[in-house]
Structures are given as C-alpha cells and as structure tokens.
Amino acid sequence: MRGGDAVIHALEKEGVRYISGFAGGIFSARHERMGVEIADGYARATGQVGVALTGTGPGATNTLTGIAGAYADNIPVLLLMGQHPLGSMGREIQQEVPSSIFDSFVKWKGTMSRVEDIPAIMRRAFTNLRSASPGPVVLEMPQDVLMMEAPDEVLNYEPVGPGRRAAPDAADIERAAEILLNANFPIMNVGGGVLAAEAWDEALELAELMAMPVASTLVGKGAFPENHPLSVGGGVYPRSRYASGAAHIVNRRADAVLAVGNSFRLPNATDGRPIPEGIYQADVPILADAKLALRSLIDAVRDRMGPGGPPSAARREEIVAEIREAKAKWHAEWEPTLNDESSPTNGYRVVQELMK
C-alpha cells in the first residue's frame, strides 16, 4: 500500500465521507480558502470532522484565514496539506511554504516524515479533533512519502472512534449547584461548547428547572431556542458588544452566572470598555464536557431542591414577564428603524421583512 492510499484508508475508517478543496476534492472549490470554509460549515452543521485538501505554497497560504476562523470558534477541521518531497524541504524550492505558518492557529500539527508513521499520525490527528475542546489540525504530507510503499499490515489502521469526554469533578458540581440555588437571580450563558458537546437538551432542561434566563454568544447561536420565554437572545454577561437590549437589561440583574462552553473572549463579553478587575474570576471552574457537566449539575440541583421543588409558578412567571418587558422595551427603541419606509431601504428593515 502506498502512503497516499494509507491516508485515504484512515479517513474511511474514521467515517469521513467528504473532502473539500481546490485540488479536485469531492466538494470542489474555486479557491483553497473556500475549501476550508466548506469543511468548517460541514463540521458546524453535522458535528463531524470537516476535511479539506490543499497543496503547498499559495495553496497553503490561501487556507490560513479559514483555519484561523476554525481555531477562533473551536471547529474540528482537518487540513491535508501537500508538500514538496522531504529532500527538498527547507531548500527554498519555488513556492515552498512550511506548515509552521499554521503554528498559532491549530490545536495540533504533524508531518508525515515516514510512510510507516502515517497510521500513528492519523490517530493523533483524530484524537485531537475529537477530544477535549475542538480545533483545527494540519497534516503536512510530503509528496515522496505519499508515493512510498509499505506492507499492508504496517499501514493497517485502527480508528480512534468518537473520542474521549472528560467528566466533571463531583465536588465542583456540588459547589456550583449550591451557588445557583442560593442566588436570587441566576442566569445561564451558553457558547459554542454547548453545540460542540450536543448539550442543548441539557441546557434547556436546567434553564427550565431553575427558571433561569439564557443568553448566547455569537458562536453559541442555536444552542438555546430564542423563541423560548427564558431566552434573552444574544449577548453574554456583563456587556457584550453584540448583545440584544434584553440581554443587557437582564444580565445586569444577575448575581450568579453559569457560563457553559463560553470563553468570554473579547468582544463577546464586553463592548470594548475595560472589564472590572476580577469580574471573570470563576468561583467554580469546571473543566469537563459540557453535556456531562450539565447532566451532573441537573441531578445535583434536583437533589438539593428538596420538598419545595423548582421555583414556584408565580416566580417563574415573574422572571418571564421581566424578560418579556425587556424585549418589548428594546423592540420599541428599534421600531422606527425597522419600519422606516424611506428610500433607499435600510438593511435592518430588510432583515425585519425577511423574518416575517
């Protein structure tokens, strides 16, 4: 078996169905960056690893922006990067670009320097793609290594499978449950980690159990239904630049924030003004898979609620009414712009009409 066949063999064993790229992939793009964007979109939509293919030189540099975007949003994208033969690398051959250009934008990077190492490198790649916080991986594939042959048994591949998920520490879960239950106005902020862990059902269950308002980051859009009475839309604590008016109003009321799969990176959590010192000092940092952590937290909250059970119907309606009032106030402020009939039509009205 040749090295190139071994790569395809590994991809098949890992369940990869599609490869996108400029160089004749299954999804053929007109530009290398678009090949990465296709893989990125596929990964976001399906929760599976997106795979893109490119050559060296300008092909590799063209993918850099797409890979940087996947890194910023923690998207599992595998970039298969072609390269000059091993003996030519580092000798300033025409259009040679080293894979080191990706060093600041990948979760892991590997080079296939021997054909016998291909199965191990592919396993490390998929382990990084599917375990812990997701992110892009780049594999550098020298041309001569792809053409080399090795016995089939040497290149045989055992798939990594679905990856490994970290469970939360039980003591941390108990402390978090205690804080939430003792708070007067707890809120939940959901980010892309909820989508990556497929934890949207758990987020909804906990929010309804405790009657907690829920806001999302831009990357976390879709993790919580925005037509739900407890949703305040986009914009996390304390003052995201992209926040809805309702999120700004409700977030100010919070005395406890449960942030799930949210890194609080700028500008998702601030409008550019300095953040008060210590505001992001987590009382209970929980390093775990979001789905497993939320399930454990739901169980802990139920156990601690006791005979009184969840918040009363009156308290729940009070919170929902406050969210409804905040939304109404924000919509009223935008009403003149959203229904402005002057010409040319503004973009806000176009979106408003499309949403009807």
The model's pLDDT over 80-114, given as tens digits with 9 standing for 90+, comes to 999 988 877 776 777 788 899 999 999 999 999 99
If asked whether residues 180 and 322 sit together in one domain, one would say yes
Query: Would 90 be classed as within a structural domain?
Result: yes
CA distance 286 to 15: 31
At 172, is the pLDDT very low, low, confident or very high (cuts 50, 70, 90)? Answer: very high
Same domain (yes/no): 87, 184: no
User: Which pLDDT tens digit goes with each residue over 296-314?
Assistant: 999 999 998 876 677 777 8
Three-state DSSP at 176 gives: helix
Cite the DSSP H helix spans in 15-115.
32-46, 58-62, 64-72
Evaluate the omega torsion of the peptide bond into residue 136 and state whether it is cis, within 30 degrees of 0: no
Q: What pLDDT shows up at residue 270?
A: 55
Parent domain of 20: 3-147
Q: Distance between CA atoms of 102 and 114, rounded to whole angstroms?
A: 21
Residues of the chain by 3-state class (helix, strand, coil), percent to 5: 45, 15, 40
pTM: 0.83
Cβ count near 211 (within 10 Å)? 19
What's the one-letter identity of residue 242? Answer: Y
Q: Rounded to an integer, what distance in angstroms lies between the CA atom of residue 54 and that of residue 61?
A: 10
DSSP state of 185: S
> Look-up: residue for tokens 């700004």?
248
Measure CA 71 to chain center.
9
pLDDT of residue 319: 93
Residues 303 and 184 in one domain: yes
Torsion angle (degrees, nearest 10) of CA 32, 36, 37, 41: 150
Q: Kindly state the average pLDDT of the residues 264-287.
A: 67
Position 278 pLDDT exceeds 60: no
For residue 119, the model assigns a pLDDT of 97
**Residues of the chain above pLDDT 70, percent:** 92
Domain count, the chain: 2
Tens digit of each residue's pLDDT (9 = 90 or more) over 253-266: 888 999 999 877 66
Can you tell me the mean pLDDT for 230-248?
Answer: 81
Q: What is the largest CA-CA distance in the chain?
A: 74
Distance (Å, rounded) from C-alpha 239 to C-alpha 229? 21
Position with higher pLDDT, 285 vs 273: 285
Q: Judge if 229 and 317 occupy the same domain.
A: yes
223 and 141 in a single domain? The answer is no
At 123 the pLDDT is 97
Do the Cβ atoms of 57 and 143 come closer than 8 Å? no
d(CA 223, CA 290): 12
E-assigned strands of 76-179? 77-83, 108-111, 137-142
pLDDT digits (tens, 9 = 90+) for 206-224: 999 999 999 998 888 999 9
In degrees and rounded to multiples of 5, residue 252 shows phi and psi of -65, -25
314 with 183, same domain: the answer is: yes
Tell whether 139 is covered by a domain.
yes
215 and 140 in a common domain: no
Look at residue 30 in the predicted model and tell me its pLDDT.
83
The verdict on residue 155 lying in a domain is: no
Lowest mean pLDDT among 160-174, 242-256, 322-336, 337-351: 242-256
Residue 356 forms part of a structural domain: no
Asked whether residue 251 carries a pLDDT value surpassing 90, the answer given is: no
pLDDT band at residue 26 under the 50/70/90 scheme = low
Predicted confidence at residue 98, as pLDDT, reads: 87
- Residue 259: CATH number of its domain: 3.40.50.1220
Q: What is the CATH number of the domain that holds 140?
A: 3.40.50.970
Query: Mind listing the pLDDT tens digit for each residue in 136-153?
Result: 999 999 999 999 999 999
Can you give the pLDDT at residue 296?
A: 97
Whole-number pLDDT of residue 56 = 85
Does residue 340 lie within any of the structural domains?
A: no
Do 264 and 175 fall into the same domain? yes
Residue 89 exposed, middle or buried by CB count within 10 Å (0-12, 13-18, 19+): middle
Residue 276 has pLDDT above 70, yes or no: no
Residue type at 280 in one-letter notation: Y
